[in-house]
Amino acid sequence: MRQRSRAFIVADASNPSNRVVFINADIAMGDTGVRRSIVSALSQEFPGLYTNENIALSSTHQHSGVGGYLEDLLPQITALGYVNETAQAIIAGTVLAVKRAHASLAEGKLSLGNTTVVDGNRNRSPSAYLANPAEERARYEYDQDKDLTLVRFDDANGNARGFLSFFAVHGTSIYENNTLVSSDNKGMAAYLYESSIEPDAMPGNNTFVAGFAQSNVGDTSPNTLGAFCESPGQPWDGQACDFDHSTCGNKTEDCHGRGPGFRISDYESNKIIAQYQVDGAKTLMGQQLTPITGPVKWVHTYMNMSFRSFTLPNGTSVQTCPPAMGYSFAGGTTDGPGAFDFIQGDNSSSSQNPFWEIVKGAVTPYPDQQQIDCQYPKPILLNTGFAHWPYEWSPNTVDIQMLRVGQLVILVMPGELTTMSGRRMREALRAKLISEGVLGDDAYVVIAGPANTYAHYVATPEEYSVQRYEGASTIFGQWTLDSYIDKYSSIVSYLADDATGQPPSDPAPVDQTSKAISLQTGVVFDAAGIGRDFGDVLTDVRTSSPYTAGEAVIATFVGANPRNNLRLEQTFLNVDQLVNGQWKAVRSDSHPSTTYQWARTSTILGTSTVNITWVIEDGTPSGTYRLTYFGDSKPLIGNITPFVGHSSSFTIS
């Protein structure tokens, strides 16, 4: 499935220049550099309407899509550096989504509601959650937020044009060994809902827009059956992982979370978790929801989190720290376990392995005593806040942003808040909005993120002390959450009905893309091979007998590198149906029933293959079909050239 951006614009009917843009992108997290380019393009196209202050770039937080687009070095490493093609594709698609939203602006009505989705998530760090005060935990039925909040968009005639929902669940339904681009459970949910409304529209060409946005996702997991040891031949094989450390035989590698479709496939789990969210949205879309009334407002500023001093409500002076990753960061999670001898839940002052104490200084600078004390009790593995070569490893400055639409306030967060962090954040900001007279008792606050800047995790101080993955990845130290509460609370007055201007700001982060490096090689050339042409069929479909629902139709073609042309707003494949003597495209690479797999067969010769698969869905009409492959080849000298390949015709009965 392709990754997409879905844009939502809300303008004040009494003053249409007052508007906010919420972008729900099928990406892993928001990024300062990508957002900077999006803001630049939109502010040039629509001067005075869309600005750095009123545009929010949020993510569905999928983990099965493209990487390398973030401008800080640490998240680039797994992609072998910065991948400009990825960043530009995200920017272009997102700008296009906003332009389409802008072109479709019309008077309408908004309404708001919430429902419970019990089976859609699980806490993957319950031992850390239990560190929170018992009296606080007693206020909640679950150790996860089960609420799905939905904002319905109706036109002036009361017809639904779309919705924007918020529900906390990690985009890790598809396992980490996946090599196909996908948009995980929230992208799947959007497809399922949109296709149910407009079943004949190709994905991306629908007029009804279903937004499934992320919320306080930090310690959530879609792998709702729990985490188990996959250790063939060991006595603990098949048993639940260790509760405190998520280990199997004292190692993390074999501890894996299992989704609800575990016995079938991770793709089945992905669809099930998506369907839970779809069902929740449909429940709300079928109800009479609370009207949203009031002005449209926004506030944005930058905050430098390195050694930021502030005062807690009890009068204690505290400070945040320059970024650092703890040892348990390398231990990974049950959604994606780490390697070597790192484990979760290490808050000891002594290293898990003295070898890493020696080696880590060759990766990032050793922390000084001030940083050690500030980050305590986190044992520092990567001192990223002091790593500046070849450019910044982690952000020091983050976006602070809130959007107000009537009685609804969206806290646009630059990180992954855990369940309890999100609860404290929402509660504190709602209380502040009411106490300052910005909103009344009907104030409704939601969290969206990770958005704008990716500043990793936000655990509560109590969870931080346990130092599981989420605490170890809370890069600014144990007072990160309280710093956010303090800052967001201090600027709520800018959301008041009569408020003007924007608050003072720390300097914006410096653009790093000009310094970016990449170890990925470009496409040198493509070759079809002796006696072959691009698009030739190497392995054809079955023509001797009809296919039926549930069967996989497969064809292999002489291919070319897909990086030659990402085919934005297009497709690498079609499933065509013969209708009245004409071929009609009925599936593309945006349908979950199709897969496109490219494989290099010889780097020296430049040859490759493309495998196209279509698993026939129930209810597919009988008839004649074919598979079509769209590619682009690059010669050693000359221009990139498009080509098309077709399988033989086949029938479905």
**Tokens matching residue 135:** 């009296």
Answer yes or no: are the C-beta atoms of 317 and 519 closer than 8 Å.
Answer: no
Q: What is the 3-state secondary structure (H, E, C) of 343-367?
A: CCCCCCCCCCCHHHHHHHHHHCCCC
**Tokens matching residue 357:** 């104490």
Q: Shortest CA distance to 325 belongs to which of 127, 118, 535, 469? A: 469
Per DSSP, the three-state class of 254 is coil
**Alpha carbon separation from 545 to 314, 548, 652 (Å, rounded):** 76, 10, 9
Distance from C-alpha of 219 to C-alpha of 240, rounded to nearest angstrom: 18
**Alpha carbon separation from 232 to 133, 176, 252, 291, 635 (Å, rounded):** 39, 20, 15, 56, 48
Is 221 one of the annotated active-site residues of the chain?
yes
Per DSSP, the three-state class of 329 is helix
Active-site option among 165, 221, 269, 633: 221
354 upstream amide cis, omega within 30 of 0? no
Q: Fill in the DSSP letter of residue 577.
A: E
**Tokens matching residue 465:** 């002390």
Rg (alpha carbons) of the chain, rounded to whole number: 25
Strands 209-213, 160-166: pairing kind? parallel
Distance from C-alpha of 381 to C-alpha of 472, rounded to nearest angstrom: 9
> 84-103 and 32-45 are packed helices; what angle lies between their axes, rounded to 10 degrees?
40
Answer yes or no: are the C-beta atoms of 611 and 552 closer than 8 Å.
Answer: no
Q: What is the 3-state secondary structure (H, E, C) of 222-241?
A: CCCCEEEECCCCCCCCCCEC
Per DSSP, the three-state class of 188 is helix
**Residue 602: CB partners within 8 Å, gap ≥ 6?**
none
Q: Fill in the DSSP letter of residue 269.
A: H
Distance from C-alpha of 308 to C-alpha of 395, rounded to nearest angstrom: 14
**Alpha carbon separation from 330 to 74, 440, 471 (Å, rounded):** 12, 45, 12
Distance from C-alpha of 366 to C-alpha of 357, rounded to nearest angstrom: 9
Q: Shortest CA distance to 400 belongs to which of 479, 333, 486, 302? A: 302
In sign, the C-alpha dihedral spanning 240, 244, 246, 250 is negative
Distance from C-alpha of 458 to C-alpha of 416, rounded to nearest angstrom: 6
Residue 179: CB atoms within 10 A of its CB come to 6
Q: DSSP secondary structure string, 448-487?
A: E-S-SS---EE--HHHHHHT-HHHHT-TT-TTHHHHHHHH
Answer yes or no: are the C-beta atoms of 101 and 7 closer than 8 Å.
Answer: yes
**Residue 362: CB partners within 8 Å, gap ≥ 6?**
none
**Residue 272: CB partners within 8 Å, gap ≥ 6?**
259, 260, 261
Distance from C-alpha of 30 to C-alpha of 119, rounded to nearest angstrom: 27
Residue 615: CB atoms within 10 A of its CB come to 16
Beta bridge mates, 155: 108
Phi, psi of 84 (to 5 degrees): -65, -35
Catalytic positions: 221
